[in-house]
Amino acid sequence: MYLVCGEALFDVFIQNDGERSNELAFKAIAGGSPFNVAVGLRRLGCDSALFTGISSDTLGQRLRQVLDEEGVSDTYLIASEAPTTLAMVGLDAAGSPHYSFRGEGCADRQLLAEHLPALTAQIRGLHLGSFSLVVEPVASTLLALVEREHDRRLISLDPNVRLGPAPDIARWRERIETFARYAHLIKVSEEDLQLLYPERDPQAVAASWRTERCQLVFLTHGSAGASVHSRHGQWSVPAVAVATRDTVGAGDTFQAALLSYLARHRLDSPEALATLSREQIDAMLRLAIEAAALTCARVGPDLPYLHELERQSAR
**Residue-level pLDDT at 26:** 86
**Residue-level pLDDT at 315:** 66
Instruction: Find out whether 97 and 32 touch, Cβ atoms under 8 Å.
Output: no
Structural domain total, the chain: 1
Residues 173-191, mean pLDDT to the nearest whole number? 97
Instruction: Find out whether 18 and 117 touch, Cβ atoms under 8 Å.
Output: no
Q: CATH number of the domain that 21 lies in?
A: 3.40.1190.20
Residues 277-297, mean pLDDT to the nearest whole number? 96
Residues 129-139, mean pLDDT to the nearest whole number? 97
Instruction: Quick: pLDDT tens for 76-133.
Output: 999 999 999 998 887 776 667 777 889 999 999 999 999 999 999 999 999 999 999 9
Q: Is residue 173 predicted with pLDDT exceeding 90?
A: yes
Longest dimension (CA), the chain: 61
Beta strand ranges found along 96-245 (DSSP E): 97-102, 125-129, 154-158, 185-189, 216-220, 226-230, 233-237
Report if pTM > 0.85.
yes
What is the four-CA torsion angle of 216, 3, 159, 239, rounded to 10 degrees? 60
Q: Is residue 208 predicted with pLDDT exceeding 70?
A: yes
Q: Is residue 238 predicted with pLDDT exceeding 70?
A: yes
**Residue-level pLDDT at 94:** 67
- Residue 35, classified by CB atoms within 10 Å of its CB into exposed (0-12), middle (13-18) or buried (19+), is buried
Q: Which domain, by its residues, includes 49?
A: 2-314
Return the percentage of the chain with pLDDT > 70, whole number. Answer: 97
Residues 20-33, mean pLDDT to the nearest whole number? 86
**pLDDT band at residue 299 under the 50/70/90 scheme:** confident
Instruction: Quick: pLDDT tens for 149-164.
Output: 999 999 999 999 999 8
**Residue-level pLDDT at 234:** 97
* Rounded Cα distance, 251 and 193, in Å: 14
**pLDDT band at residue 265 under the 50/70/90 scheme:** very high
Q: Is residue 18 predicted with pLDDT exceeding 70?
A: no
**Residue-level pLDDT at 95:** 66
Q: Is residue 280 predicted with pLDDT exceeding 70?
A: yes
In the sheet that holds 226-230, the strands lie side by side as 77-80, 48-55, 2-5, 125-129, 154-158, 185-189, 216-220, 226-230, 233-237
Q: Average pLDDT of the chain?
A: 93
